[in-house]
Chains A and B, each alone.
Chain A
Amino acid sequence: MRAQFVFGEVWVGLRRNLTMTAALIVVVAISLSLLGTGLLFVKQVDHTRSLWQSRLQLSVYLCSAVNPDPNCAKNGPVTKSEMSQIESTLNNLPQVVHYTYMSQAQAFQQAKQLFHNEPVMLSFVQPGDLPASFQVKMKNAQADAVPVTDALLGQPGVDSVGDDSAILTKFYQLLDGARNAVIVVAIILIVAAILLVANTIRLSAFNRRRETAIMRLVGASNFYVQLPFLVEGMIAGLFGWLIATALLAGAQAGLDGLQQYFPFPVQLSTTDLVEVVLVTMLIGLALCGSTSFLTLRRYLRV
């Protein structure tokens, strides 16, 4: 193997179709950075989701004396036996991790804390107004909410079940939508990049048909004939990837900028960035390498 010879040939090849190579590098850079942005998005969404997941719980509101809802109006406020009935249901549900009882007095205290800036609001609330509740923590807040709610609703003494995750669903949909859009665009661009790699290699093979014809004639191995083209494709991919890495570092900063809109930490770590950059490198090299290889099989037969 004579590396110097191979790289000499690669250099000649890259120089001969400089414009094609430049176009290839740009397309690879953009498609890889969009793909990477999509992956960063996925990570961001995952971070946010797991952060919320750990805090989400169901609130099982119990009937109180002043509750006008039909469930409660019929039976009146929750009784001791109804409460132990509800507790045993909670104990028997496999999805429930643990639950805590919040009495009417505790609920009132919490409300006082929440609205301590708004005395007008507070003045409307009396200690007996807020219902007592069970705060239920589940194994998987998203998936388990429905079966747990179904099991509890309609039980005597239960007024309603409030699900925190319902509020977040819209927010997740927004994030997922944005992520999907980025990934779809990235995939379209990757298809464009693949076609461009194929074309560049084909052009390169055409430009160097004299050399390859002679190489085949004097018995150069397939590997030797194809390697310069393969390396050519890979180098273009590598340059594209370097540019994409720079763009991705920018994208990470941008995503972290979203931080200010959230009152909780969802910052992407450098590890996340490095992971995404490595994934895009592998994808980029695999994409350029395999496309070059397949194109060559078609255009440089023995």
Chain B
Amino acid sequence: MIHFENVTKTYPNQSRPALESVNLDVEKGEFVFLVGPSGSGKSTFLRLILREERPSEGRIYVAGRDLARLTNWKVPQLRRRIGCVFQDFRLLPAKNVYQNIAFALEVIGKPRRFIRKVVPEVIDLVGLEGKGERMPDELSGGEQQRVAMARAFVNRPMILLADEPTGNIDPATSIGIMKVLDRINRTGTTVVMATHDAAIVDSMRKRVIELEYGKVVRDQSRGVYGQAY
């Protein structure tokens, strides 16, 4: 599903690469934690998958597409197959829960009938039954993140990228968020989650990729947050 081949990314005016010679594969339906200290290259990794950045060297394949060959024109099509969740939720404050989720479908030109059908389904899936009319500022952080996940998932992407989705949420609520991510993963969606949350990584026992100074220093199936050795 995601294939990195000797990928190096150096930002302009920086001597040290943000990612250096990264080789890895993420299969369809996998759940992967991306761990590592700040500045280790986690965000760069996610941005490269979204093609918000292009690698300085190496090749990246996402959902069978060679990103180097992907024209700007086709980038939106790639992004329709990738859902994204962020630490800061990124909801539209002037739209309610339903409208926030529907927005993601409206802007890719989905018919209204389709939107009316799938948005309530996904609201249920993330556990926000009956809260479709609420505005974002009437929701708790955990609930807002659920809305963000619903928006990311409503178009049934093949890949869900989560950049520290529990970063702004207390540990008890985080468990609920992880349950939703797990539910999404069980539908066959590949999930890549960058996180600092050791407790979550340890409890899930999923594949863990650790980055340090832009290099993959550990890649373990059923891993934990800290060093395993």
Contact B78 A2 (CB under 8 A): no
Complex interface: chain B residues within 8 A of A114 (CB): none
Q: Do A220 and B75 touch (CB < 8 A)?
A: no
B227 adjacent to chain A (CB < 8 Å): no
- A2 close to B76 (CB less than 8 A): no
CA distance A222 to B106 in the complex (A): 14
Which secondary structure characterizes the binding site on chain A? Answer: helix
Contacts of B72 in A (CB 8 A): 222, 302
Are B90 and A218 in contact, CB atoms less than 8 angstroms apart? no
Chain A residues whose CB sits within 8 angstroms of the CB of B112 once the complex forms:
2
A217 and B109: CB pair below 8 A? no
Question: B103 on the interface (CB 8 Å rule)?
Answer: yes
B92-A219 in contact (CB<8A): no
> How far apart are the CA atoms of A221 and B72 in the complex, in Å?
10
Chain B residues near A215 (CB-CB < 8 A): 107
Chain B residues whose C-beta falls within 8 Å of the C-beta of A1 in the assembled complex: 109
Establish whether residues B103 and A224, one from each chain, have CB atoms under 8 Å apart when the complex forms. Answer: no
| Residue A213, interface by CB 8 Å | yes
Chain A min CB distance to B180 (Å): 18
Q: A217-B84, A302-B72 are in contact. Are A224 and B108 (CB under 8 A)?
A: yes
Contact between B104 and A214, CB atoms less than 8 A apart: yes
Q: Whole-angstrom distance from the CB of B119 to the nearest CB of chain A? A: 13
Q: How many A residues face the partner with a CB closer than 8 A?
A: 18
* Choice from A2, A210, A211, A216 contacting B79 with Cβ under 8 Å: A216
B173 adjacent to chain A (CB < 8 Å): no
Q: How far is the CB of A230 from chain B (nearest CB, A)?
A: 15
B131-184 interface with A by 8 A CB criterion: 151, 155
The answer to whether B109 touches A219 (Cβ under 8 A) is no
B77 at the interface (CB under 8 A from A): yes
Number of B residues with CB within 8 Å of any CB on chain A: 25
Asked if residues A224 and B107 are in contact (CB atoms below 8 Å), the reply is yes
Residues B79 and A218 in contact, CB atoms below 8 Å apart:
yes
**Given A302-B72, A302-B75: A220 and B107 interface contact (C-beta under 8 Å):** yes
From known contacts A2-B109, A214-B104, A215-B107, infer whether A221 and B90 are also in contact, taking CB-CB under 8 Å: no
Q: Is the CB of B106 within 8 A of A5?
A: yes
B164 to chain A, nearest CB (A): 16
Interface residues of A in 223-243 (CB under 8 A from B): 224-225
Among B73, B80, B92, contact of A214 (Cβ-Cβ < 8 Å): B92
Bound Cα distance A147, B50 (Å): 75
Contact yes or no, B80 A224, CB < 8 A? no
B102 nearest in chain A by CB position:
A5
Across-interface contacts of A221 in B (CB, < 8 A): 76, 108
Given A5-B106, A218-B155, A224-B107, check contact A213 B77 (CB 8 Å): no
Interface centre among B72, B90, B103, B107 (most CB of A within 10 A): B107
B90 touches A219 (CB 8 A): no
Q: A2-B106, A211-B92, A219-B80 are in contact. List 7 more A-B contacts (CB 8 A).
A: A218-B155, A219-B75, A219-B82, A219-B108, A219-B155, A221-B108, A222-B76
Please list the residues of chain A having a beta carbon within 8 angstroms of any beta carbon in chain B.
1-2, 5, 210-211, 213-222, 224-225, 302
Chain B residues within 8 Å of A, Cβ to Cβ:
50, 72-73, 75-84, 90, 92-93, 103-104, 106-109, 112, 151, 155
Q: What are 26 A-B interface contacts by the 8 Å CB criterion?
A: A2-B112, A210-B90, A210-B93, A211-B103, A213-B90, A214-B92, A214-B103, A217-B50, A218-B79, A218-B104, A218-B108, A218-B151, A218-B155, A219-B75, A219-B76, A219-B77, A219-B78, A219-B80, A219-B81, A219-B82, A219-B108, A219-B155, A222-B73, A224-B108, A302-B72, A302-B76
